[in-house]
Amino acid sequence: MNNLSKSVLEKIKKAGLRPRPKWQFVAWRVLFWIIFILSVFVGGGAFGMIFHQLFGTEWGFMHKGMISPFYGVMLILPYICWFSVLGVMVAISFKTFSQTKKGYKYRPLLVIGISVFLSFLLGLFVYQMQLSHGMHEQMKGFGPYAKFNQKHDAMWVAPENGVLMGEILEISETSFSLKDMNGENWTIHFTDEDLGVEPGDRAFIMGEESAQSEFVATEIKVRGDRFERKFGPRS
Amino acid sequence: MHDDSQTADTELVALALQNPDYFTPLVERYEPKLFRYIRRFAGLSKECAEDVLQEAFLKIYRNLNDFDGDLKFSSWVYRIAHNETVSYLRKNKKKETVTIENNDPDMINLLDVLESDANVVNDAKKMEIREKVRQVLGELPQKYREVLVLRFLEELDYAEISDVLRKPMGTVATLLNRAKTKFKELAIKNHLTLLLHE
């Protein structure tokens, strides 16, 4: 026995060292896989929210110049936030995957690509199942997201530019009352008798302010893509 | 594919898990290789390299249950020794200097990088060339030095290097190519190529 092996053996015996139990290594590996899967899922949620913002925004209203360009930033901001969340999740998934037993054998770009792709598919599912809408509804009451959401929604209250957004309260034959995102009540007039909206729906309305708290709709869209209809101007 | 030594390693690991005395043959088998590797890669003094190696063996023992035969035992122990060395260098913020003994005959293997057809027979010149190679190696960044040492001095194949460094094979190949290019540049700068053709 040479000096080093003697010294190693002595240290092992003196300190009473024992090999770490196998379950500890297995637990670490399982933990890495759990973090990897979770990060892909959270990434999927972020994608879902990106789709929710993308398809829930009235880009057409913006193109028509009905909201201030300043508020354009408010439209882009959610994407930056959710893409940042997605970026962090992809980084976590890559790091944890590379810590798995054979994770290092795969090229980083491949791992990142697969993680993004899986999150993308999950995001589509989340959006299709309207889970992203549910997530938005859950989050809109909390912290910075609530503040941002209020500001974001308030930018759609611009009757002078022909845009209104709010919650439908009561519906009659040719009009309904609406509480806008700033809490003001409006009477919205429309021409279609079979409008199909319900109290509680959140509607984007394009048209013209006809009198104090009166608005004539030329286009109404219920958030969530349930409904979209154009109207002729009320005579 | 498992050769005889790998089978013997695996059996010794199983025995060492029951009784630490069986760990001794494993230490004796890998001590010279790992000691040489640590010195070649990190340029540590004999004493420092021994300390690092001892810690590496203790870590190998503590982690024996993590070895499951998916990769060669030799690659696994090289990985732990490598990580321990990197960790030592980081902790000690040591400026690495390659202090490989001038009589390390394998140093000449690195001349393969230069693809030179020079045939050196003179012992004094061999010594001088080894010293130059040592110097060039010492000037290389760590990421290039480690792959060159593993490939040309430890003679590990790409898959083994990938297992030791925990990097994909493609990355290892890219690193090796860049390391060779850098080595050639430094060889020219340090007049190693001239020395070969004198």
Rounded to an integer, the average pLDDT of B65-92 is 92
Of the partner residues A19, A98, A101, the one whose CB lies closest to the CB of residue B62: A19
Q: What is the DSSP string of B38-83?
A: HHHHH---HHHHHHHHHHHHHHHHHTGGG--SSS-HHHHHHHHHHH
B184: its two tokens: 């050639």
Candidates 1.10.1740.10, 1.10.1760.20, 3.40.190.290, 1.10.3720.10; correct CATH number of B4-92? Answer: 1.10.1740.10
| Long-range Cβ pairs for the range B14-21 (8 Å, 24+) | B16/A19, B16/B61, B16/B64, B17/A19, B17/B64, B17/B65, B20/A9, B20/A12, B20/A13, B20/A17, B20/B61, B21/A9
Strands A227-230 and A185-189: unpaired
The CA–CA distances, whole Å, from B195 to A188, B119, B122, B130 equal 92, 12, 12, 11
Question: Can you give the residue ranges of every domain in chain B?
Answer: 4-92, 105-196
CATH number given to B105-196 = 1.10.10.10
Domains in chain A, please, with CATH? 22-151 (no CATH), 157-230 (2.40.50.140)
Predicted pLDDT of residue A149: 74
Residues making up chain A, counted from first to last: 235
- Residue of A81, A97, A83 whose CA lies nearest to A38: A97
Strands A202-211 and A163-171: antiparallel
Nearest CA of chain A to the CA of B186: how many Å?
Answer: 29
Interface contact A98, partner B, CB < 8 A: yes
| Contacts of residue B103, Cβ cutoff 8 Å, sequence gap at least 6 | B130
Predicted pLDDT of residue B1: 44
ipTM here: 0.78
Nearest CA of chain A to the CA of B132: how many Å?
Answer: 31
Which of A141 and B9 is assigned the larger pLDDT? B9
Predicted pLDDT of residue A234: 42
pLDDT, tens digit (0-9, with 9 covering 90-100), for A17-66: 999 999 999 999 999 999 999 999 999 999 998 888 777 666 666 655 55
Predicted pLDDT of residue A74: 62
Task: Tell me how far apart the alpha carbons of residues A206 and A201 are, in angstroms, rounded to a whole number.
Answer: 16
Rounded to an integer, the average pLDDT of B169-190 is 92
Nearest CA of chain B to the CA of A21: how many Å?
Answer: 6
| Cα A154 to chain centroid, rounded | 18
Maximum mean pLDDT: which of A83-87, A228-232, B55-59, B150-154: B55-59
The CA–CA distances, whole Å, from A87 to A36, A40, A46, A113, A127 equal 14, 11, 10, 12, 19
DSSP B94: P
pLDDT, tens digit (0-9, with 9 covering 90-100), for A88-100: 999 999 999 998 9
Residue A145: pLDDT over 80: no
A22/B54 touch (CB, cutoff 8 Å), yes or no: no
Q: Where would I find the H helices in chain B?
A: 4-18, 23-42, 46-62, 73-92, 123-139, 142-148, 158-165, 169-189, 192-196
A5/B27 touch (CB, cutoff 8 Å), yes or no: yes
Report the SS3 class of residue A93: helix
Predicted pLDDT of residue B161: 96
The CA–CA distances, whole Å, from B141 to A137, B137, B144, B145 equal 53, 9, 6, 6
Q: Which residues of B touch A12 (CB under 8 A)?
A: 20, 23, 58, 61
* Phi-psi category of residue A234: left, alpha or beta, with phi > 0 → left and psi -120 to 50 → alpha: beta
| Cα A122 to chain centroid, rounded | 13
- Residue of B91, B84, B134, B85 whose CA lies nearest to B109: B134
| Contacts of residue B195, Cβ cutoff 8 Å, sequence gap at least 6 | B125, B128, B129, B132
- Quote the radius of gyration of chain A (alpha carbons, Å): 27
Of the partner residues A5, A12, A105, the one whose CB lies closest to the CB of residue B162: A105
**Residue B50 near residue B35 (C-beta atoms within 8 A):** yes
Q: Which residues of B touch A1 (CB under 8 A)?
A: 24, 28
Minimum Cα–Cα distance from B159: chain A residue: A105
Residue A152: pLDDT over 80: no
Q: Which residues of B touch A101 (CB under 8 A)?
A: 70
Predicted pLDDT of residue B2: 46
Stretch among A77-81, A200-204, B47-51 having the lowest mean pLDDT: A77-81
A235 falls in which pLDDT band (50, 70, 90)? very low
A19/B61 touch (CB, cutoff 8 Å), yes or no: yes
The average confidence (pLDDT) of chain B is 84
The average confidence (pLDDT) of chain A is 82
> How large is the greatest C-alpha to C-alpha distance in chain A, in angstroms?
105
A12/B21 touch (CB, cutoff 8 Å), yes or no: no
pTM, entire model: 0.75
Token pair 């509804």: residue: A137
Rounded to an integer, the average pLDDT of B18-44 is 91
Angle between helices B23-42 and B73-92 (to 10 degrees): 50
- Residue of A170, A168, A225, A227 whose CA lies nearest to A195: A227
Rounded to an integer, the average pLDDT of A138-151 is 77
Interface contact A17, partner B, CB < 8 A: yes
B63 falls in which pLDDT band (50, 70, 90)? very high
Task: Tell me how far apart the alpha carbons of residues B61 and B79 are, in angstroms, rounded to a whole number.
Answer: 14
Rounded to an integer, the average pLDDT of A208-218 is 89
- Residue of A127, A53, A107 whose CA lies nearest to A83: A53
Task: Tell me how far apart the alpha carbons of residues B77 and B73 are, in angstroms, rounded to a whole number.
Answer: 6
| Mutation choice for B interface testing from A1, A2, A11, A12 by most B CBs within 10 A | A12
The domains spanning B4-92 and B105-196 adopt the same CATH topology? no
Predicted pLDDT of residue A140: 75
Stretch among B24-38, B76-90, B131-145, B175-189 having the lowest mean pLDDT: B131-145
Predicted pLDDT of residue B69: 80
